[in-house]
Amino acid sequence: MFAAARTSVLRSLRTQTQLCHTQSQTAWSRLASTLAVLEAKEGKLNIASLAAITAGTKLGGSITAFVAGSGGKTIAEEAGKAKGIEKVIYVDNAAYDKGLAENWAPLLVENIKKGGYTHVLTGHSAFGKNLMPRVAAMLDVQQISDITEIESEDVFVRPIYAGNAIMTVQSSDSTKVVTVRGTAFPAPETEGGSATVEEGTDPKAESPTEWVSEDLAKSDRPDLGSASKVVSGGRGLKSKEEFDRLMPPLADALGAAIGASRAAVDSGFADNSLQVGQTGKNVAPQLYLCAGISGAIQHLAGMKDSKVIAAINKDADAPIFQVADVGLVGDLFEKVPELTEKLKQ
Amino acid sequence: MSSLRILVPVKRVIDYAVKPRVNRAQTAVETANVKHSMNPFDELSIEEAVRLREKKTTPVEEIVAFSAGPAKSQDILRTAMAMGADRGIHVVVEEKDALEPLSVAKLLRKVVDENKSNLVILGKQSIDDDAGQTGGMLAGLLNWPQATQASKVTIEGENVTVVREVDGGVETLKTKLPMIITTDLRLNEPRYASLPNIMKAKKKKLDKKTLGDYGLDGDVRLKTVKVTEPPTRQAGVKVDDVDGMIGKLKELGAL
């Protein structure tokens, strides 16, 4: 009842105050109530998923976080320390450990309806991309994917055409289902918060899908999506042997994560999960240093928000030099080892 | 139900190699006189459907290509048929009335019912709106299992095993038909349509329909406030050697 009433209040506010936008925004903010869906794996919270909370704080209003999986309560207590959240709802059930959309979607829908949230936010990660459209359709909502900015309670900014255009949209849905770009909303402080922890509803939907196995690339390096420095290699590396010979030492010298272009991934030089670009990972590190990457539109989509871009390429006309802050025209087989040596000193 | 009736939705988008331009009124991306082609992920979907037929592990009764879009979307459907789809369905929607993923998913639910499809293979995202929603939404509406971002699909009888691309690697799922699959780049390498197949495709059946035929309207939930060019980066500098690069990076505070 309460949720329905709030929605209609929002609706009437919106129609009445369409002209005085800034004024009405504050009125909406007081009414916003956000559910930030967090990810956990093997009982551990994925810190990167806290970006949904940062985005939620831009909306004003209350923020409730949501976690599910085995050890749900412990995860909730950990999440509750993040600044900005009022409450964490948890569901403790091993059936949610693998993030299967088939049982997660009914779980979320039930808890969203119960809480009457105006906004549901989650990261635009593999988990969010897989799950949220299913949730949105069940709620009859047109989702807004991969937002980079929040202008008001119902106005969001997102890149389209591989980041070659920026679109601002206004949603008329009563519940906004949104995935957020992690690099655009840095995770909040993970200490100092004091959210209450509460158990959520578990509809215990059966999943017709069974999780069999996973094969994750293991690495001691920083996570590509959130690393402050990234070194990235492309087709110019010529082979997997050269990629493995040149890139890891450079990454180690900088304490950087390793990325790759699609060409390098397709040719088998690097693992798929390292792909940076429109269809791979989006990164926005302090430093993006790339070698042997020409700079195709699809690659630039994933890295052009980096603070500083440095490029080594033997082709002086490569499009990468149009976005690079520092460009070095030269043979990467000479320059990369030299750079690695000098950085070590 | 031991044979496959595959539905493959395809979308006509600006060619991936074209750099899109925002129109002067800042309302949309300029599409007039710009090269269009099939969304690259949808080519993978068609290819996968055709390969399932060629593998013969589970008989494929029919592959239907579908598109909702302006008159020219026909060309894309002909391409899909030249690659191996048996027939096409075209719901004509003017470019200015372009459908949102939720509407496309609702439309596809009707098309699935009408054609008794038991497998829908979609691209994981279209490279114009980059929403990546239609497949998951359709799965939600039908309450079917889903495997998104698939890089390997194995179907034996009603049992389906899919390897999907996730953050940090891959995972394997097992499920049953009917289901929804969305394709990732690593799934396959689409074939080129040969000239004889392009000629044959011209004779394949292509049904023209409207949203009204499916009892739907083009309900729009998101209003475009504006479309702008992304901020351009300041022109950088070229350095002569590695020392110059390190020096400049230090100056910029990146080291």
Please say which residue of A150, A179, A199 terminates a domain.
A199
The pLDDT assigned to A28 comes to 52
What tens digit of pLDDT does each residue of B19-39 get?
A: 999 999 999 999 999 999 999
A37 and A132 co-located in one domain? yes
Chain B residue numbers with beta carbons less than 8 Å from the beta carbon of A328 are 238-242, 244-245
Contact A165 B230 (CB under 8 A): yes
A241 and A188 co-located in one domain? no
Nearest C-alpha of chain A: how many angstroms from B129?
5
Q: Is A10 part of a structural domain of the chain? A: no
Supply the ipTM of this predicted assembly.
0.96
The pLDDT assigned to A24 comes to 47
Q: Residue A274 is part of which domain span?
A: 229-344
A130: pLDDT strictly greater than 60: yes
Q: Model pTM greater than 0.90?
A: yes
**CATH number of domain containing B108:** 3.40.50.620
Q: Which 3 state secondary structure label does DSSP give B220?
A: coil
Average pLDDT, chain A: 92
What's the structural domain count of chain A?
Answer: 2
A17: pLDDT strictly greater than 50: no
Beta pairing, strands A229-233 & A287-291? parallel
Q: Which two tokens stand for residue A297?
A: 């539109």
A58 and A179 co-located in one domain? yes
Chain A residue numbers with beta carbons less than 8 Å from the beta carbon of B174 are 209-210, 212
What tens digit of pLDDT does each residue of A201-255 get?
A: 999 999 999 999 999 988 889 999 889 999 999 999 999 999 999 999 999 999 9
A141 and A272 co-located in one domain? no
Q: Residue B200: how many CB atoms within 10 A of its CB?
A: 13
Distance between CA atoms of residues A164 and A314, nearest Å: 26
Q: Residue B49 is part of which domain span?
A: 4-252
**CATH number of domain containing A172:** 3.40.50.620
A130 and A264 co-located in one domain? no
A184 and A67 co-located in one domain? yes
Q: What is the DSSP letter of A45?
A: E
Distance between CA atoms of residues B215 and A65, nearest Å: 39
Q: Is A22 part of a structural domain of the chain? A: no
End-to-end Cα separation, chain A, in angstroms: 66
Mutation pick from B22, B149, B167 vs chain A, by most beta carbons of A within 10 Å, is B167
Distance between CA atoms of residues A178 and A131, nearest Å: 11
A23: pLDDT strictly greater than 90: no
A257 and A188 co-located in one domain? no
Q: Which two tokens stand for residue A207?
A: 């999943």
Q: Closest to B172 (Cβ–Cβ): which among A100, A162, A212?
A: A212
A94 and A154 co-located in one domain? yes
A179 and A255 co-located in one domain? no
Which residues make beta-bridge pairs with A91? A68
> Side chain identity at B133, as an amino acid letter?
Q
End-to-end Cα separation, chain B, in angstroms: 61
Please say which residue of A199, A221, A254 terminates a domain.
A199
Q: Is A304 part of a structural domain of the chain? A: yes
Contact A211 B185 (CB under 8 A): no
Chain B residue numbers with beta carbons less than 8 Å from the beta carbon of A283 are none
**CATH number of domain containing A239:** 3.40.50.1220
A41 and A170 co-located in one domain? yes
Please say which residue of A159, A184, A199 terminates a domain.
A199
Q: Is A56 part of a structural domain of the chain? A: yes
Q: Is A276 part of a structural domain of the chain? A: yes
Contact A133 B101 (CB under 8 A): yes
pLDDT, average across residues A292-309: 96
A171 and A280 co-located in one domain? no
Is A295 marked within a binding site? yes
A49 and A147 co-located in one domain? yes
Q: Is A46 part of a structural domain of the chain? A: yes
